[in-house]
Chains A and B, each alone.
Chain A
Amino acid sequence: MTAGNGILLQVSGLTKRYGEVRAVDGISFSVPRGTVFTILGPNGAGKTTTLEILEGLRAPDSGEIELFGRRIARVDRREKARMGVLLQEGNFEPYLRVKEVIGLFGSFFPRARPVNEILELVALTEKRNAFVKELSGGQRQRLALGTALVNDPDLLFLDEPTTGLDPQARRNIWSIVADLKDQGKTIVLTTHYMEEAETLSDQVCIMDHGRIIAAGSPRVLTARLGEETIIEFTAPGMIGVPVVPSGGKVRRDGDAVLVEVTDLVPALRDLLAWAHENGVPLDNMIIRQPNLEDVFLSLTGRRLRE
């Protein structure tokens, strides 16, 4: 199998076992040049192992990888020189200055962008002389992103880039990734934040237990749930489920109640009547379109972050 024009990365039948556990179980996908490809899944789905194979940290047990137009057994120095990687975990030497970290990582590549350019890109120019230990969590993650961009990579791997960050820091990272996408960079992203996947991705594949259970654009994937609208509210301690005579599928998810309806107005009328009769307050009620979380829930019966 040879990737066609415009495909930067193609994976076929990739497998990795740890003892009896198949962390990655024969997955296949392809990433077109200039797109953001997101691997979505809960913890333990096999996302990070997949990325570690593609980053050259692990060798696969079987499967084919075609990267930058070359079929390879495992990713090596030649491929790494054209890749940028933001790992899920990893620190920097606390007593190095920000500019020194960027300079150090730049020295590992045959060609590197100027330090100031990278600092500007990740909005750390003002912190250029600060020690790593003085940075906030969001600044450290931007520094890590800077080290991934130092060689002006053709392919960028971002493994859970916003996990553990506050909402503001998360949006800062999203903004940088969106800029990179606009510049035509090819990005492979893993996340368990559906909003992140929906905001940034051109293509999404959903993994669970080492396998890809669904793939496509966020719009295509959510369209699988049909033309439904979701009414969601919380009802702690509620006994029984709402009666919606006009039609609708009701699901409980902890304290949350989700009512999937095709015809919103009569369904809403029925639901309000039921709530009034039964004294249910319908706390935090929202009406929304289905998202990737709902797709995952409909496919596995579990939420992404369970």
Chain B
Amino acid sequence: MKGIVALARTHLLTSLRERVTLFWFIVFPVFLLVILTLIFGNIGRQGGMNFQVGLINLEDRAGGGPDLAGIVVEAFTAIGEPRDGKEPLFTLHRPGPGEDKQGFLTRAEEELRRGKLTAVVIIPRGFNRAILSGERAEITLYVDPTRDGSQLAAAIIREVISGIDREILVRTGRFDQERAVPVRSEPLEGGPVSFSYASFLLPGVILMAFFTAGLFGVPGAILYARDRFQLRRYWVTPLTPARYFIGFTLGQGGLCLLQFVVLFLIGEYGLGAGVDFSRPAAAAFLLLGFLTFLSFGFLIASIARTANGGMAIANILNIPLMFLGGLFFPLGELPGFLQAVVLVNPVTYIAAGLRVGLGLTKGTISPIASVLVPLGWIALSILVAARRLSWEAA
């Protein structure tokens, strides 16, 4: 037993003493948690989310009749007013009195490119006539697809316009209110109304830390020790590979526990994530995540011939598994082949299961799948590792 404990301590100590592993396993997750929260931290906070939106009404009132474009402007203006002393959802930027609308449009487009505006809404000339004559009326929305905030604003604006559209149809007598299908307002990922990005992100970053430690740390430590004949020195003592495995796993568990404690303290007390990790389901999914990523590490160690080969495999798997697992952002509409990665990716299930376990989201994946898919990967990884992992250098 003392050998197992000493091995666990050794693995933990050396992981923390080596600058590269210390950075990737502890410093980087902390950095990511802080930086992402600072950038996207306002998303979803009640009264805290605010988008800078340009609004230009090019409609000409000369033709008379109902001012439907004006209804659109009113709706956006109403959203742009502070409520209960809280910051409004949109801060509207409109042409000043007498300002040339085309000139304003050009300036707004430039500010959108520079990130000063999140979106620009344009009501075209002939909007009123088009609606009244039953023609296709279109409101143009300019967004910057490279900015996440811009895309989020676009989604909200589309929702707003959809609501305005129905209102206009009712007012013009073209829409039967009784038959109207009310749009149910769903917060992101269908969770509680008080969605906070920090609370969404913290469990994701904790899992990412476990994931990185498992995917890179496990094969790295084992294969380098094997290739440099460190393990050989162990095998001439009474230590057996089984005891080494247990000691290593305990050490890896200690590393992940440390990652959790550091990230939890910073997330909870530094960033106000407000996540209740004491829930049994959350603890269970954290443990499931640790075991899944640990077994993934052993799987890589078993199929790589050398330590460098192991790192190459880990690098190839890292990006798709991490970014297509919903750790940092909700998984939206993805092309088919990416959906396939999402579906087989154990990270997807563990991340979703953990957030449901924490009460952050309602979840779209069945609890059974959230448990069974990672367990399947663990079983497969252990099976392959047990058959293929060589404790002696090739």
Q: Contact check: which of A56, A77, A93, A110 meets B14 at CB < 8 Å?
A: A93
| Complex CA–CA separation, A45 to B137 (angstroms) | 90
A90 and B235 form a contact (CB under 8 A): no
Task: Report if A91 contacts B (CB, 8 A).
Answer: yes
Tell me what chain B mostly uses at the interface: helix, strand, loop, or mixed.
Answer: helix
| With contact pairs A57-B232, A107-B3, A108-B3 given, residues A93 and B239 touching in the complex (Cβ less than 8 Å) | no
Least CB distance, B258 to chain A, in whole angstroms: 16
Which residues of chain A are near B31, meaning CB under 8 Å? none
Which residues of chain A are near B7, meaning CB under 8 Å? 104, 107
Least CB distance, B254 to chain A, in whole angstroms: 15
Least CB distance, A189 to chain B, in whole angstroms: 15
Least CB distance, A115 to chain B, in whole angstroms: 12
| Complex CA–CA separation, A78 to B6 (angstroms) | 20
Which residues of chain A are near B13, meaning CB under 8 Å? 95-96, 100
Task: Report if B225 contacts A (CB, 8 A).
Answer: yes
Q: Contact check: which of B2, B6, B230 meets A93 at CB < 8 Å?
A: B230
Least CB distance, B91 to chain A, in whole angstroms: 52
Closest to B6 in A: A107
| With contact pairs A100-B10, A108-B3 given, residues A91 and B230 touching in the complex (Cβ less than 8 Å) | yes
Least CB distance, B283 to chain A, in whole angstroms: 30
Closest to B247 in A: A107
| Complex CA–CA separation, A104 to B237 (angstroms) | 11
| Complex CA–CA separation, A93 to B10 (angstroms) | 9
Which residues of chain B are near A95, meaning CB under 8 Å? 13-14, 17-18
Task: Report if B238 contacts A (CB, 8 A).
Answer: yes
| With contact pairs A95-B14, A103-B6, A104-B7 given, residues A89 and B232 touching in the complex (Cβ less than 8 Å) | yes
Task: Report if A29 contacts B (CB, 8 A).
Answer: no
369-390 of chain B: CB within 8 A of chain A: none
3-44 of chain B: CB within 8 A of chain A: 3, 5-7, 10, 13-14, 17-18
| With contact pairs A96-B10, A96-B13, A103-B6 given, residues A108 and B230 touching in the complex (Cβ less than 8 Å) | no
Closest to B17 in A: A95
Q: Contact check: which of A56, A83, A105 meets B235 at CB < 8 Å?
A: A56
Task: Report if B233 contacts A (CB, 8 A).
Answer: yes
Task: Report if B175 contacts A (CB, 8 A).
Answer: no
A91 and B228 form a contact (CB under 8 A): yes
A90 and B230 form a contact (CB under 8 A): yes
Which residues of chain B are near A89, meaning CB under 8 Å? 229, 232
B2 and A87 form a contact (CB under 8 A): no
Least CB distance, B23 to chain A, in whole angstroms: 14
Closest to B234 in A: A108
B238 and A81 form a contact (CB under 8 A): yes
Q: Contact check: which of A56, A91, A131 meets B236 at CB < 8 Å?
A: A56
| Complex CA–CA separation, A131 to B240 (angstroms) | 26
Which residues of chain A are near B14, meaning CB under 8 Å? 93, 95-96
B233 and A80 form a contact (CB under 8 A): no
44-103 of chain A: CB within 8 A of chain B: 55-57, 77, 80-81, 83, 85, 87, 89-93, 95-96, 100, 103
Q: Contact check: which of B225, B228, B232, B237 meets A108 at CB < 8 Å?
A: B237
A87 and B236 form a contact (CB under 8 A): yes
Q: Contact check: which of B5, B230, B235, B238 meets A109 at CB < 8 Å?
A: B238
| With contact pairs A57-B236, A77-B238, A109-B237 given, residues A104 and B230 touching in the complex (Cβ less than 8 Å) | no
Q: Contact check: which of A56, A91, A104, A147 meets B6 at CB < 8 Å?
A: A104
Q: Contact check: which of B18, B225, B232, B238 meets A80 at CB < 8 Å?
A: B238
Which residues of chain A are near B17, meaning CB under 8 Å? 95, 131
A104 and B229 form a contact (CB under 8 A): no
B10 and A80 form a contact (CB under 8 A): no
| Complex CA–CA separation, A107 to B236 (angstroms) | 14
A55 and B236 form a contact (CB under 8 A): yes
| With contact pairs A77-B238, A95-B13, A96-B13 given, residues A107 and B2 touching in the complex (Cβ less than 8 Å) | yes
| Complex CA–CA separation, A77 to B239 (angstroms) | 8
Mark A115-142 against chain B: 1 for CB-CB distance below 8 A, else 0: 0000000000000000100000000000
| Complex CA–CA separation, A3 to B169 (angstroms) | 105
Closest to B221 in A: A93
Least CB distance, B6 to chain A, in whole angstroms: 4
Closest to A110 in B: B238
A108 and B235 form a contact (CB under 8 A): no
Q: Contact check: which of A83, A92, A108 meets B239 at CB < 8 Å?
A: A108
Closest to B18 in A: A95
| Complex CA–CA separation, A38 to B301 (angstroms) | 38
Closest to A157 in B: B236
| Complex CA–CA separation, A157 to B239 (angstroms) | 17
Closest to B11 in A: A93
| Complex CA–CA separation, A55 to B18 (angstroms) | 32
Mark B236-249 against chain A: 1 for CB-CB distance below 8 A, else 0: 11111000000000
| Complex CA–CA separation, A91 to B239 (angstroms) | 17
| Complex CA–CA separation, A80 to B225 (angstroms) | 21
| Complex CA–CA separation, A148 to B5 (angstroms) | 20
Least CB distance, A158 to chain B, in whole angstroms: 12
| Complex CA–CA separation, A109 to B236 (angstroms) | 11
| Complex CA–CA separation, A144 to B239 (angstroms) | 17
Closest to B225 in A: A93
B233 and A147 form a contact (CB under 8 A): yes
Least CB distance, A282 to chain B, in whole angstroms: 46
Least CB distance, A51 to chain B, in whole angstroms: 10
138-156 of chain B: CB within 8 A of chain A: none
A87 and B5 form a contact (CB under 8 A): no
Mark B165-179 against chain A: 1 for CB-CB distance below 8 A, else 0: 000000000000000
| Complex CA–CA separation, A295 to B302 (angstroms) | 47
| Complex CA–CA separation, A108 to B225 (angstroms) | 17
| Complex CA–CA separation, A56 to B392 (angstroms) | 13
Which residues of chain A are near B230, meaning CB under 8 Å? 90-93
Which residues of chain B are near A103, meaning CB under 8 Å? 6
Least CB distance, B394 to chain A, in whole angstroms: 14
Query: Other than the known A96-B14, A157-B236, what 9 A-B pairs have Cβ atoms closer than 8 Å?
Result: A56-B235, A57-B232, A77-B238, A90-B228, A91-B230, A93-B10, A95-B18, A100-B10, A144-B233
